[in-house]
Structure 1
């Protein structure tokens, strides 16, 4: 972990960990931890932003609305005229849904594929995400929901405090307690409350809790790979020479795994067609074992667990 000199905002789920300075400069760190400026925003940003398929969704606190910024053109526009009502986190993206909190403290979401707005049955004041999980805080209650499976993971009579306008790689501090909660698992940990500084994580970006990074990597990496597959902007980054090595490895590994799944499907179809049905499963098993071994040897070259 690399200690950051000044407090920054992270654009979560961006594969290449992109951050925003208080001066509005949007940047990433290369392998030597040198800043690479991408562009500069002309509005105030206080809380962490979100990335989704070539676009950055950012709280514009100059106008108190959510803005969407195109990663290629850097053009910024108001997104569906959605307002924000607090300096802390009031929106989060999980898969193709941008969740946000209405003026009446209702949880709503925009389907980013259709742009339709839907309402959920939850009331909440603040919201954070990590992978497929969503943490909601409302009236001193914390609820973590699994968005993909539409189930509640945990509900406890606590509230969030501390560095709560930051995602912190899925870790949030409990109000008035020496505890933090892991959004990815719903587990609560004891933690000495000391004055903290941000550290840079090569997979996520900035966090005040770097000691929890190792246990977050697996879930976050799996989520990123699912998002990478159909993201044309992320795929286009492979053509550049400025991509950090960790980010490049993640994209390549996701592409190899996608190829592996395609091969599996086609091998099964082939064996089912050309071998007798009673032997088809056995032939498929042997072929897949060979393919898995080959793909494993290739993907070992792109280990992203560091």
Structure 2
């Protein structure tokens, strides 16, 4: 898409398979764009936000400018204030699988299991910002008076550091997740969480977001094709156990994507459960194919040329 936003918007991450998704947040409203790229209001939030929201299991998690976390019920549209003893989010949060990751007012990094509400502190502190993409987490932390980008692997609530690079994050891109891309300030260099590498780029700054029909808004549309494909693959897997999404009537394009994933998963499952049966079936198919091919060849042979007739005179 070449649609460019004139003002900053925030994404509701993982909202593509919601009705009319993906969703965006503009000022105090959750919106979507129609086919003409006109904004349509889904609901009013009654408060301002300053970071991306996240959809998870029938709820949209959204943080207001006063550091209070709310959830929006996607069925009833009810807005519920969350317990600040558990979700004492300061500026940034994200969700991977069933885990809620955030920095608190003291800039310590915490993880909450959304299924059990168990909360635990990680080993990372002085974390000013965090972003996630697929199973990776990008932290922007201050270490010994220097700012560092720290890339971590996230697995079942645990963060394992993979790489770190010194640098300051660039504005205004840092407000958004950007499909796992962030730019280092005063360097023509971006960090790509999908490949865990930094790449030199031509342009030093980005001032506008562009619309992407799967993800929402990004400052880096030139990377959207690769990033959105990876994002979509991961998202479909996440939604297998999502009762709310599974009950929705999806338009044809989205329905085909979900069915394709289900079929691929079933095929993989059958290979694991019945490996010998599948091998035998495949072998039988090869034998049948060979017999059929041999029979067809036989029909092409001039049988008279191969008959020997005894002539008794």
- Using the TM superposition, give the Cα deviation of residue 67 of structure 1 relative to its aligned residue in structure 2, in angstroms: 1.1
Segments of structure 2 that go 5 or more residues without pairing to the other structure are 287-313
Checking the alignment, whether the CA contact within 8 Å between 2:136 and 2:153 is kept in structure 1 is yes
Instruction: State which of 136, 141, 149 in structure 1 corresponds to 2:148.
Output: 141
Q: TM-score if structure 1 supplies the norm length?
A: 0.80
Segments of structure 1 that go 5 or more residues without pairing to the other structure are 272-279, 290-306
Checking the alignment, whether the CA contact within 8 Å between 2:271 and 2:278 is kept in structure 1 is no
Check 1:101–1:195 CA distance in 2 against 1; reply closer, same or farther (3 A cut): closer
Greater mean deviation of Cα atoms: 33-42 or 246-255: 246-255
1:1-306 mapped onto 2 (5 Å cutoff): 1-6=1-6, 7-15=8-16, 16-22=21-27, 24-61=28-65, 63-81=66-84, 82-86=87-91, 90-123=92-125, 124-139=127-142, 140-148=147-155, 150-162=159-171, 163-191=173-201, 192-237=203-248, 239=249, 243=251, 246-268=253-275, 280=277, 282-283=279-280
Paired with 2:232 and 2:284, the residues of 1 have a C-alpha distance of 28
- Using the TM superposition, give the Cα deviation of residue 256 of structure 1 relative to its aligned residue in structure 2, in angstroms: 2.8
Paired with 1:58 and 1:203, the residues of 2 have a C-alpha distance of 20
Checking the alignment, whether the CA contact within 8 Å between 2:183 and 2:189 is kept in structure 1 is yes
Q: TM-score if structure 2 supplies the norm length?
A: 0.78
Greater mean deviation of Cα atoms: 202-211 or 149-158: 149-158
Check 1:103–1:248 CA distance in 2 against 1; reply closer, same or farther (3 A cut): same
| RMSD across aligned positions (CA) | 2.5
**Which residue pairs with 2:310 in the alignment?**
none
- Using the TM superposition, give the Cα deviation of residue 227 of structure 1 relative to its aligned residue in structure 2, in angstroms: 0.6
Secondary structure of 1:259's counterpart equals: helix
Count of residue correspondences: 270
Q: Give every structure 1 segment of 4 or more consecutive aligned residues whose post-TM-superposition deviation is greater than 6 Å.
A: none
Checking the alignment, whether the CA contact within 8 Å between 2:5 and 2:211 is kept in structure 1 is no
**Between Structure 1 and Structure 2, whose CA radius of gyration is higher?**
2
Check 1:166–1:41 CA distance in 2 against 1; reply closer, same or farther (3 A cut): same
Paired with 1:147 and 1:246, the residues of 2 have a C-alpha distance of 31
Greater mean deviation of Cα atoms: 71-80 or 144-153: 144-153
